[in-house]
Structure 1
Amino acid sequence: MPDALARLHARLAAGETVLNGWLHLPGGISAEVMGRAGYDALTIDLQHGLIGDGGLVASLQAIAAASAAALVRVPWLHPPDLMRALDAGAAGVICPMIDTGAQAAALVHACRYPPQGGRSYGPTRARLTHGEDYALRADAQTLIFAMIETRQALENLDAILDTPGLSGVYVGPADLSLSLTGRATLDFSAGETAGAVAHIAEAAARRGLIPGIFTQGGELARLALSLGYRFVTAGSDFALLDGAARRVLAELRGAAASPSSSASSY
């Protein structure tokens, strides 16, 4: 098992926190920069990011040159997308909009080799990245996160969390707040969304699963940590670049920095 992946699993097994960076931008350079900044893991966003399938391998290669483990947020619950990400060498996948226990089971099934699942054999780059014996270890070392993003998912949370083979759940605050309140925001510090976010972390931890969540860093990341989240995204390349540019210009122009429209970029 490569060093970055071994460190990731060791931290999770010890109950420690993993700080994850989020990648929206294509080309691999931001992946390399974020990786060398010191994130424990980096997630390539193929759902709302600008990378696309054609840029997946370049981003994975850039992450491999740094010290982070690489995950992929796939566009949807579509087995070929899940298998392609894992065959390309991702250490794990994050799947959006998992609303039922049946969908969670389908997610796990697509990521496990027979007889435990239905993943087709063909770990093209994964063998280069993780070793020739990858297929023997893949079921045990692949991280599988189901995203909790809707009221329906909350109603079915127990069934989702009780799915055999699931590594953890990952909260998308923007979609979750949109479903609960009609307004998308990354701020889960108050209201109905706050209660839901706290409940998800507690329910996952009670089962020994990994609770994960997206934040842009700062106070919301610290709040997530205080709630028991152990896989915490603390910034995306797009939002960090946007925020830094705005702050520089605001300082030079003598004005307060305007907030980034981070929910729309998630």
Structure 2
Amino acid sequence: MKRAAPGELAPVLYHQTVASFSMPEWAVAAGYDGVILDLQHGELGLEAACGILRSIPRDNAYAYARVGSLDPAPILRLLDSGARGIVAPTVESRSQAEALVAATKYPPAGNRSLGPSRPALYPGDSYTGAGNRAVSAVAQIETRAGVDRAEEIVSTPGLDSVYIGPADLAVSHGLPGRGDWEDGPVREAIAHLREVTAAHGVTLGIYSGRPEYAAGLLADGLVDYVGLGIDLVLLNRAFGDTIAGLDSARSARSNS
């Protein structure tokens, strides 16, 4: 994950939890830059996620996958299928960040096994060098412990980005499990992580459910990219708005 150049818009991704091949295409057509396939909380299994990744054009730099653990085996399968970023949840230590880098990067940066299974995935003079540049190791910080150890996590060689999980971070502070905090310890953590990541040349992202909140963070320079919305939540909203519109139209007709 690279910072947007001056004049460029910051990348916007969405979380996908269902095994749909068409959803990434529709999302990009609507203006999203990419997807975070959710193998941690969603309905997606490894086989479905690998199939979806193969359906996404190879040049999409934001085909990401969030795994359920640091087990290198599924991470390897996802990468060989075309994942351009691996998001590891609940990173709270330097050793966990190192394990993420080891599973995500080819030697000498990591321990990823070389077994190309998708043609021309990393074009260039050095396949492994191009692969290491193309793939982002993303540590999700979503607890007080992770924030407290941000310096040791972010300074891990080979780590490319930090992704904030605001709801779990709020829960770790004894607050309601929601995102889009305007103040309090979650907002303070965002500012702190901005300072630490900027100092180490690591990008920072966050999940948000509200476009106006995400726009504010981007405008204030607090994050470099956002995960905006979850597929099932977006569908639920569309279903609700459609039925509400029908009920309103019915009511207007019955009163006319």
Report if aligned partners of 1:38, 1:68 keep a CA contact under 8 Å in 2: no
SS at 1:181's partner residue?
A: coil
2:234 matched to which residue of 1?
240
1:135 matched to which residue of 2?
128
Q: How does 1:16-165 map to 2 (within 5 A)?
A: 16=8, 17-64=10-57, 69-125=62-118, 127-131=119-123, 134-165=127-158
Cα 1:206/1:136, change in 2 over 3 Å: closer
SS at 1:130's partner residue?
A: coil
1:193 to 186, 199, 216: 186
TM-score relative to the length of structure 1: 0.84
Alignment partners' CA distance in 2, 1:117 and 1:65:
22
Q: 1:76-101 CA distances to partner (integer Å, 9 max, x unpaired)?
A: 12111222211111111111010011
Letter in 2 for 1:130: Y
Letter in 2 for 1:174: A
Q: Which structure features the higher share of helix residues?
A: 1
Q: Is 2:8 the partner of 1:14?
A: no
Alignment partners' CA distance in 1, 2:173 and 2:91:
16
State the shift of 1:144 in Å. Answer: 1.0
SS at 1:50's partner residue?
A: coil
Detail structure 1 runs of 4+ shifted over 4 Å in the superposition.
65-68
Cα 1:198/1:251, change in 2 over 3 Å: farther
Give unpaired runs (5+ residues) of structure 1.
Answer: 1-7, 256-266
Report if aligned partners of 2:58, 2:82 keep a CA contact under 8 Å in 1: no
Q: Is 2:210 the partner of 1:217?
A: yes
SS at 2:117's partner residue?
A: coil
Q: Is 2:245 the partner of 1:251?
A: yes
Alignment partners' CA distance in 2, 1:182 and 1:189:
13
Report if aligned partners of 2:62, 2:85 keep a CA contact under 8 Å in 1: no
Number of aligned positions between the proteins = 245
Alignment partners' CA distance in 1, 2:28 and 2:61:
6
Alignment partners' CA distance in 2, 1:204 and 1:31:
29
In angstroms, what is the RMSD of aligned CA positions? 2.3
Report if aligned partners of 1:94, 1:146 keep a CA contact under 8 Å in 2: yes
Q: 1:154-196 CA distances to partner (integer Å, 9 max, x unpaired)?
A: 1101000111111110001111111112431123222221211
1:3 matched to which residue of 2?
none
Percent of aligned positions that are identical: 35
